[in-house]
Amino acid sequence: MTHKKENPLRNRIAKAITGESMPDIDADVIRELAKLLEETGLSELEIEQGGVRVRVARGTTVMATAAPTPAQAPAASVHSEMKPELAQRPGTVVTSPMVGTVYLSPQPGSPPFVKIGDSVTDGTLCIIEAMKTMNPVPSSAAGRVAEIFVVDGQPVEFGQPLMRIE
């Protein structure tokens, strides 16, 4: 019979994620979150409870901050992370709303949702798969697809440019 050792710190983190309690933000919690990143292969992990957000990401610093108020616009942070040459080009850059895998067509072998030169008003531009869930990315502006920055099946990060619409 296999007996799994209880890990109280991991249990505290699990309770925080489900909203049962919030762990004190200490070095052990951050270390355990970093360890989970390694075990799962994720690039970023974030938990929020009671106005405190803890985010651990690979290759960046670990930060604990107060949660932003709903009045803040998330688009401002996305544009600040974007490369300056993309922000200076005319049109609207559609960015990834989450970490996942981007798919440009509804299923393998099907035509893509949009191609360069297609006119768009609303509807799905692509799909991002995250945790086995397919999430449509709608057009945020009407116009013509000028550039597509990703390829089918490519992993994407939050805020990564996907397409530019003129």
pLDDT for the residue numbered 85: 60
Question: Average pLDDT of each block of 10 consecutive residues along the chain (166 residues)?
Answer: 61 62 60 77 72 67 49 38 60 91 91 92 90 89 92 92 92
Phi, psi of 9 (to 5 degrees): -65, -45
pLDDT for the residue numbered 15: 65
pLDDT for the residue numbered 71: 45
| pTM, entire model | 0.49
| Residue 149, C-beta contacts closer than 8 angstroms, at least 6 positions apart | 160, 161, 162, 163, 164
pLDDT for the residue numbered 136: 92
Residue 71's alpha-carbon distances to 68, 74, 76, in angstroms, are 8, 9, 12
Tell me the domains of the chain and their CATH numbers. Answer: 8-66 (no CATH), 74-165 (2.40.50.100)
